[in-house]
């Protein structure tokens, strides 16, 4: 198996991109990554796209070929593949692109993620999102993700003494980080009071505990590590990849305060990279809800079990803390265009390891991690990245 | 890169499966393949699923995790990934499963394909299908696949003298083959007159020139060739894989009588396997329309350019002919549950090479090919299979 490097990154601003179409944003992110890598489109051997639901948001399927076509790659007939696992679609696409390079079938692969969510009304968007929960036992009966994560939050409060204020600290931190990211959907800080006083969505989760609906796209360029030095002085190696599944329905889990899929995916990625949680210097985790980040940092082993809320309040995961988490602003402040999210996480970690993360730079970071979740924890994918120089 | 074998196959009957749900058929096909391989579910390392549009047909996304869960694999948290490229979703899932084994990340992989199309009315089904054409320049303006392929057929008639009768011969042949397949949707022969007298859908394509809407699922088990002999005396090797893209819209092609994506995918698969078209002894090709099979056998090099219609009329592609094509009945008679189709093709070729294709057995077949197309030719994927003993 060949070692795989990331040699370029690109992303659109995330947010309400009314003036741009799905194909526009996909191509913008891809071309930025191509330019950043210093390759040309003639070098590209394959395209992978993470996308959750263009078939419903914009009535367009087969979007691998669509993006390849509108990026001018149809003339070269390169393969283009879409991968989907709800909100983990981007992370899974990255893993498939990794395998394509690792096995030797392709050399230069663009892995993109894109979603255009604002072209439908909010009610329809919520229904589309919920269709990735178990339709027969959850979505059909009206369960939405805020309601499922509200149950998780309640149980976490009961088990570990987590408070609404501590959950709100996740939001305050991620908005603080987002304020330093020129591509974030929300670039302003938010006070603890503002988070706590926001309207309730599903108690104990208020509006500000939930990641927004977003449009956006992100892309990375992969190639064999052995060739990366031709294009960059600072290749970033993907040293570990792990993916795992769990039950679709929340009620089938033994302990809803644990994402077993995250734990198993992390175990695989740590093992493959030879790293352990204490080696990770910066992480992008799936904070679709404030409680989700608290669970994630516990399940990934970045903090101790049940200690996620306290660690957040103590600043452990804030820029300058022991292990900065979601320096991009995370899903909460950077935005959450579903299929793009897993790739945007990789973009942030690569930019951090290359030392070009601007005002949100984690000093001397050489090992980072991404963590992308589908559904209420039914799919999880974890990647470990390392400075390859 | 490790060599990859198929050690088991399974499939549901294709057709109008009103009494079964999507999850039922996915699991039925998978378990049959597991049993056929002689492994247990504890051996499985990963699941790949080809599916075009469960998100629209049954409002269910994240179906990789769904199938893994309902197959009882959630407790082991194995990774499950859905791949989509319209009607080529199954073929692409097979290719991703191949890479996962080839690169060494997984040993035993189930690759399934499934689609449940009958739970929506016909008008909605047609709209869902069309959403994999270019929405902005084709589908939005009312173009459907029959109308796009009708233009291809018209042009093929003009360029190569192909006649309606010759196209109908594809249908007669595939129904003849389907009559020998106990899992086919249509198991009765059809006369040339019946095909020609069927109501028009989009001239010159009548109802019988078009593949049906179907429910169904199929699955194969992959493992490293080096381990295949532990499970079977007759492992089938996947010796070549190729995938390619083309423009989304038909009007952007230089020559609509050629699927460049098919030609490029075949070129890659032939090169990787060291085989040439004349080595292929049995093939499953994408006959979504009668004209599509004629193009396919030309583009794959199985007959000469422009000679597809004549070769069909002469019986070259019929059981007993030089190169039997679609011995399963093809999309036309076996049925076309979109995401399942590419996997069902692999099931048929593996069963042929193992000498267990019953009444439709091609004598002494040792090299076979599958060809799966998305859209009007925007995606194509080709695999070469060989008897591995």
Tokens matching residue A241: 């990849």
The last residue of one of the domains, among B200, B228, B256, is B228
Assigned token pair, B284: 């499953």
pLDDT tens per residue across span B254-311: 999 999 999 999 999 999 999 999 999 999 999 999 999 999 999 999 999 999 999 9
User: From the candidates A41, A49, A61, A249, which should be mutated to test the interface with B, based on the most B CB atoms within 10 A?
Assistant: A61
CB-facing half-sphere around the CA of A32: CA atoms within 13 A: 17
Identify whether residues A373 and A288 lie together within a single domain.
yes
- Boundary of a domain, candidates A185, A201, A228: A228
Examine the domain organization and report whether A188 and A330 are in the same domain: yes
pLDDT for A351 equals 98
Using an 8 Å CB-CB cutoff, list chain B residues near A374: 62, 65
State the Cα–Cα distance between residues A281 and A288, nearest whole angstrom: 22
> Does B86 sit within 8 Å of A62, measured CB to CB?
yes
Alpha carbon of B198: minimum distance to chain A alpha carbons (Å): 31
Task: Give the pair of three-digit tokens for residue B13.
Answer: 């009957």
Burial class (CB in 10 A: 0-12, 13-18, 19+), A88: buried
Sort out which chain A residues have CB atoms less than 8 A from B100's CB and list them.
99
Per-residue model confidence as pLDDT tens digits over A47-103: 999 999 999 999 999 999 999 999 999 999 999 999 999 999 999 999 999 999 999
Share of chain A above pLDDT 90, in %: 99
Query: What is the model's pLDDT at position A388?
Result: 87
pLDDT tens-digit map of B163-200:
999 999 999 999 999 999 999 999 999 999 999 999 99
Nearest to A99 among B60, B105, B379 (CB): B105
What does each C-alpha distance from B288 to A386, B83, B146, B188, B331 come to in angstroms?
A: 47, 20, 9, 18, 6
Based on the fold, state whether residues A101 and A52 are members of the same structural domain: yes
Residues B153 and B42 both lie in one domain? no
- CB count within 10 Å of CB A43 equals 15
Q: Does residue B151 form part of some domain?
A: yes
Q: Does some domain include residue B244?
A: yes
* Residues ≥6 apart with Cβ < 8 Å to B67: B23, B26, B27, B30, B47, B49, B80, B112, B114
Mean pLDDT in chain B?
97
| Neighboring chain B residues of A244 at a CB cutoff of 8 Å | 77-79
pLDDT band (50, 70, 90) for residue B388: confident
User: Cα(A167)–Cα(A195) distance, rounded to whole angstroms?
Assistant: 10
pLDDT surpasses 90 at B250: yes
Residues paired with B10 in a beta bridge = B219
A158 lies in the same domain as A115: no
Residue of B4, B50, B14, B13 whose CA lies nearest to B381: B50
- Produce one character per residue of B193-230: b if its CB has 16 or more CB atoms within 10 Å, e if not: eebbebeebbebbbebbbbbbbbbbbbbbbbbbeebee
3-class secondary-structure state, position B379 = strand
Average the pLDDT over A233-252 and give the result.
97
The residue of B44, B49, B70, B81 whose CB has the most chain A CBs within 10 angstroms, and thus the best one to mutate to test that interface, is: B81
Residue showing tokens 């991690």: A369
Which strand (E) or helix (H) includes residue A223?
strand A215-224
Structure tokens at A106: 């392709």
Contact A76, B153 (CB under 8 A): no
Residue B14 DSSP symbol: P
For testing the chain A interface, which of B45, B53, B62 should be mutated: the one with the most A CBs within 10 Å?
B62
Distance CA(A228)–CA(A213), nearest Å, equals 36
- A178 pLDDT above the threshold of 90: yes
What does the pLDDT average to over A253-262? 97
In chain A, which residues have their Cβ closer than 8 Å to the Cβ of B102?
A: 103-105
Answer yes or no: is B135 within a domain: no
Structural element, H or E, at residue B260: helix B260-273
Q: A120-133 pLDDT, tens per residue?
A: 999 999 999 999 99
Report how many domains make up chain B.
Answer: 2
Residues 6+ apart with CB under 8 A from A385: A6, A236, A237, A238, A239, A346, A349, A350, A353, A367, A368, A369, A370
CATH number at residue A16: 3.40.47.10
Give the chain B residue whose CA is nearest to the CA of A75. Answer: B246
CB B154 within 8 A of CB B210: no
Which residue from A minimizes the CA distance to B80?
A245
Considering the domain boundaries, does residue B200 fall inside one?
yes
Q: Terminus-to-terminus CA distance in chain B, angstroms?
A: 20
Vertex A386: Cα angle to A384 and B1 (nearest 5)? 70
Of B1, B56, B248, the CB nearest to A103: B1
Residue A137 domain-assigned?
A: no
A229 SS3 class: coil
A31, A231 in Cβ contact below 8 A? Answer: no
CB contact under 8 A, B61 and A81: no
Q: How confident is the model at residue A145 (pLDDT cuts 50, 70, 90)?
A: very high
**Residue A10 C-alpha, separation from nearest chain B C-alpha, in angstroms:** 23
Whether residue A86 is found in the same domain as residue A169: no
- Number of Cβ pairs < 8 A linking chain A and chain B: 205
Nearest by CB to residue B245, choosing from A80, A127, A135, is A80
Measure the CA–CA gap between A14 and A91, rounded to whole angstroms: 17
The answer to whether A100 contacts B100, with C-beta atoms less than 8 Å apart, is no
Measured between CB atoms, which of B82, B246, B265 is closest to A84?
Answer: B82
Q: In the prediction, which pLDDT does B56 show?
A: 95
The residue whose two tokens read 């902005």 is B136
- Does A244 share its domain with A174? yes
Overall average pLDDT of the A353-358 stretch: 98
Q: Is A245 left (phi over 0), alpha (psi -120 to 50) or beta?
A: beta
Pairing of strands B236-245, B4-11: antiparallel
Closest of B239, B317, B334, B233 to residue B281, by C-alpha: B317
Tens of pLDDT along A181-190?
A: 999 999 999 9
Residue A333 Cα, gap to closest chain B Cα (Å): 25
Interface test with A, best of B61, B93, B117 (most A CBs within 10 A): B61
In a domain, A12, yes or no: yes
- Tell me the nearest-neighbour CA distance from B342 into chain A, angstroms: 15
Indicate if the pLDDT at residue A389 is higher than 90: no
Tell me which chain B residue has its CA closest to the CA of residue A88: B62
Q: Is residue B3 within 8 Å of B226, Cβ to Cβ?
A: yes
- CA nearest to B64 within chain A: A85
Q: Which domain holds residue B71?
A: 4-121+214-228
* A84, A134, A252, best to mutate vs chain B, most B CBs in 10 Å: A84
Do A81 and A15 share a structural domain?
A: yes
- pLDDT, average across residues A245-252: 97
Q: Would residue B106 count as lying in a domain?
A: yes
Q: A277: Cβ–Cβ under 8 A, 6 or more apart, which residues?
A: A266, A270, A300, A301, A302
User: In this complex, which of B59, B81, B131 lies closest to A59 when CB atoms are compared?
Assistant: B131
The confidence score (pLDDT) of residue A211 equals: 98
Q: pLDDT tier at A252 (50, 70, 90 boundaries)?
A: very high
**Domain end among A228, A260, A277:** A228
The C-alpha atoms of residue B372 and residue B111 are separated, in whole angstroms, by: 15
Whether B151 and B266 map to the same domain: the answer is yes
Least CB-CB distance to B85: which of A64, A260, A375? Answer: A64
CB contact (8 A) between residue A80 and residue B134: no
User: Model ipTM?
Assistant: 0.97
Neighbours of B43 (CB within 10 A): 15
> Are B66 and A102 in contact (CB < 8 Å)?
no
Under a CB-based contact definition with an 8 Å cutoff, are residues A1 and A101 in contact? no
B55 contact residues in A (CB cutoff 8 A): 53, 55-56, 128, 131
Among candidate residues B115, B139, B318, the one with its CA nearest the CA of residue B211: B115
Does residue A354 sit in the same domain as residue A323?
yes
| Cβ count near A363 (within 10 Å) | 10
Judge: B61–A84 Cβ closer than 8 Å, yes or no. Answer: yes
Mean model confidence pLDDT for chain A: 97
Instruction: Name every chain B residue with its beta carbon within 8 A of the beta carbon of A81.
Output: 83, 85, 92, 95-96, 243
- Which among B27, B46, B65 is the top mutation candidate for probing chain A, defined by the most A β-carbons within 10 Å of its own β-carbon? B65
Q: Confidence class of residue B339 from pLDDT cuts 50, 70 and 90? A: very high
Which of B252, B161, B167 shows the shortest CA–CA distance to B201? B167
- Residue B245 has its nearest CB partner, among A58, A68, A85, at A68
Q: Does A187 share its domain with A334?
A: yes
Query: Using CB atoms, which residue from A74, A78, A136 is nearest to B247?
Result: A74
> With an 8 Å Cβ cutoff, are A81 and B96 in contact?
yes
**What pLDDT shows up at residue B389?**
84
Which of A216, A227, A184, A282 lies closest to A37, judged by CA? A227
**Which residue among A1, A77, A81 places its CB closest to the CB of B264?**
A77
Average pLDDT over every residue of B108-132: 96
Residues in chain A, how many? 389
A150 and A33 fall within a common domain: no
> Does B126 reside within a domain?
no
pLDDT in tens, B193-223: 999 999 999 999 999 999 999 999 999 999 9
Whether this model's pTM surpasses 0.95: yes
């Amino acid at each position: 198996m060949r070692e795989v490097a990331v040699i370029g990154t690109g992303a659109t601003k995330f947010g309400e991109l009314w003036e741009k179409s799905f194909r526009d944003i996909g191509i913008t992110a891809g071309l930025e990554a191509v330019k950043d890598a210093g390759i040309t489109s003639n070098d590209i051997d394959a395209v992978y796209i993470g996308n959750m639901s263009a078939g419903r948001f914009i009535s367009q399927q087969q979007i691998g070929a669509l993006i390849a076509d509108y990026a001018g790659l149809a003339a070269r007939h390169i393969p283009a593949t879409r991968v989907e696992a709800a909100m983990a679609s981007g992370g899974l696409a990255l893993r498939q692109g990794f395998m394509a390079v690792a096995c030797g079938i392709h050399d230069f692969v663009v892995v993109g993620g894109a979603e255009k969510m604002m072209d439908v009304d909010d009610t329809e968007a919520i229904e589309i999102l919920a269709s990735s929960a178990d339709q027969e036992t959850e979505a059909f009966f009206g369960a939405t993700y805020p309601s499922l994560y509200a149950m998780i939050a309640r149980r976490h409060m009961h088990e570990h003494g987590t408070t609404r204020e501590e959950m709100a600290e996740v939001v305050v931190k991620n908005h603080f980080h987002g304020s330093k990211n020129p591509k974030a959907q929300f670039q302003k800080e938010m006070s603890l009071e503002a988070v706590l006083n926001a309207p309730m969505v599903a108690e104990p989760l208020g509006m500000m505990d939930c990641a927004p609906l977003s449009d956006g796209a992100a892309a990375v360029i992969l190639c064999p590590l052995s060739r990366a030095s031709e294009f960059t002085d600072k290749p970033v190696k993907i040293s570990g990849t792990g993916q795992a599944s769990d039950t679709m329905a929340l009620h089938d889990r033994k302990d809803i305060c644990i994402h077993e899929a995250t734990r198993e995916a992390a175990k695989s990625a740590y093992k493959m990279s030879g790293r352990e949680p204490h080696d990770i210097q910066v992480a992008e985790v799936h904070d679709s809800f404030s409680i989700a980040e608290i669970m994630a940092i516990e399940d990934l082993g970045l903090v101790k079990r049940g200690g996620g809320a306290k660690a957040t309040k103590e600043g452990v995961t804030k820029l300058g803390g022991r292990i900065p988490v979601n320096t991009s602003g995370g899903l909460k402040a950077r935005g959450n265009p579903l299929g793009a999210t897993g790739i945007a996480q990789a973009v942030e970690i690569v930019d951090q390891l290359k030392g070009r993360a601007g005002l949100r730079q984690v000093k001397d970071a050489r090992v980072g991690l991404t963590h992308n979740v589908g559904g209420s924890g039914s799919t999880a994918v974890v990647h470990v990245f390392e400075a390859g120089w």
